[in-house]
Amino acid sequence: MHVMVRIAAINYLNTIPFLYGLEACMAPGEIVMQFCTPSVSAMLLREGKADIGIMPVGALGDLKNPSIVSDFCIGATGPVASVLVVSGRPIAEVDEILLDVDSRTSVLLTEYLCQAKWHITPRLRPFDFLRDPLDPQRCYLLIGDKALLHAGDFRYVYDLASEWIALKGLPFVFACWTAAGPLEPSFVEKFNQALGYGIDHIPEAVEKYNHQFPREYACKYLRDNISFALDSEKRAGLSEFRRVALEKLTPRECVS
């Protein structure tokens, strides 16, 4: 009996090529997509409400048997532009960071960079971007479209992929396609082909979906800032991040 595969898909600009490929190449009835934030994607997989999703790598430990099922990811080999710490003061003077908690990976990476690169111990507080306006004098972790839209409002901008690469000499993987349980090999093969098709058709994807950015800007970001191939170098960067996140970081609750 055919079972429709439930996919947790992220509704950020950087996932548009994936969505385009899946909608273009997968047959009706093969998949159903649920659009959400990275943290909700992780929750859906954890609770068995999705079969496959773009999982923040910082949340992989939440699954009993996570399986990375794709040759593609959301990664960076240079500035990512959409995962930033922004501040009105130099990072060395920052005593509080207001966090975008949509992705645990970015929160963990911020915490690690505070410890290993910036040598600061700021308070970490969750921030409700829907409720409160940004203050250019304060310090925030911004991810996704919020980072792309608001980086120019701040005097100091720290690109977290660039900071990691400078420290480790390895690319960074923010999220990867992960399954919570076994999938048919034939489905995985077709799924991968669909993702690759979308990455090969970035201009068409940008044209098709609604977003807040000029067409040329969106295409340049997807071409130059996001690196989609989950190659051996990125797998090494992923392993190193998981190692330092587990070994170096004592879980810290955000101060509410």
Q: How many CA atoms does the CB half-sphere of 20 hold within 13 Å? A: 21
Q: 67 with 120, same domain?
A: no
Q: 230 with 196, same domain?
A: yes
| Mean pLDDT for the stretch of residues 236-244 | 93
Q: 164 with 175, same domain?
A: no
Q: 39 with 99, same domain?
A: no
- For the chain, give the mean pLDDT: 91
**Residue 173: both structure tokens together:** 């993987």
Amino acid 248: pLDDT: 66
Burial (0-12, 13-18, 19+ Cβ within 10 Å), 215 = exposed
| Mean pLDDT for the stretch of residues 89-113 | 92
pLDDT band at residue 27 using 50, 70 and 90 as cut-offs: confident
Residue 184 gets the label, from left (phi > 0), alpha (psi -120 to 50) or beta, of beta
Residue 202 host element (H or E)? helix 202-208
User: What is the chain's Cα-based Rg?
Assistant: 18
Q: 161 with 88, same domain?
A: yes
Cβ atoms < 10 Å from Cβ of 39: 18
Q: 177 with 149, same domain?
A: no
Q: 98 with 204, same domain?
A: no
pLDDT band at residue 253 using 50, 70 and 90 as cut-offs: very low
Per the structure, the complete domain to which residue 96 belongs is given by 83-168
Burial (0-12, 13-18, 19+ Cβ within 10 Å), 56 = buried
C-alpha 227/C-alpha 208 separation (Å) is 21
Q: 69 with 27, same domain?
A: yes
* Cβ 164 vs Cβ 75: under 8 Å: no
Chain mean position to CA 117? 21
Amino acid 66: pLDDT: 78
Cβ atoms < 10 Å from Cβ of 107: 23
pLDDT band at residue 252 using 50, 70 and 90 as cut-offs: very low
* Cβ 167 vs Cβ 113: under 8 Å: yes
Q: 200 with 91, same domain?
A: no
pLDDT tens, residue by residue, 170-217: 999 999 999 988 899 999 999 999 999 999 999 999 999 988 999 999
Amino acid 255: pLDDT: 40
**CATH code of the domain containing 56:** 3.40.190.10
What pTM, to 2 d.p., does this model score?
Answer: 0.90
Given a cut of 60, is residue 251 above it in pLDDT?
A: no
**Residue 6: both structure tokens together:** 């439930």
pLDDT band at residue 129 using 50, 70 and 90 as cut-offs: confident
Q: 177 with 150, same domain?
A: no
Q: 71 with 102, same domain?
A: no
Q: 230 with 103, same domain?
A: no
Alpha carbon distances (Å) from 234 to 141, 202, 224: 23, 21, 16
Is position 103 within any domain? yes
| Mean pLDDT for the stretch of residues 83-109 | 93
| Mean pLDDT for the stretch of residues 5-27 | 92
pLDDT band at residue 2 using 50, 70 and 90 as cut-offs: low
* Cβ 36 vs Cβ 8: under 8 Å: yes
Closest CA to 56 of 113, 96, 97, 15: 15
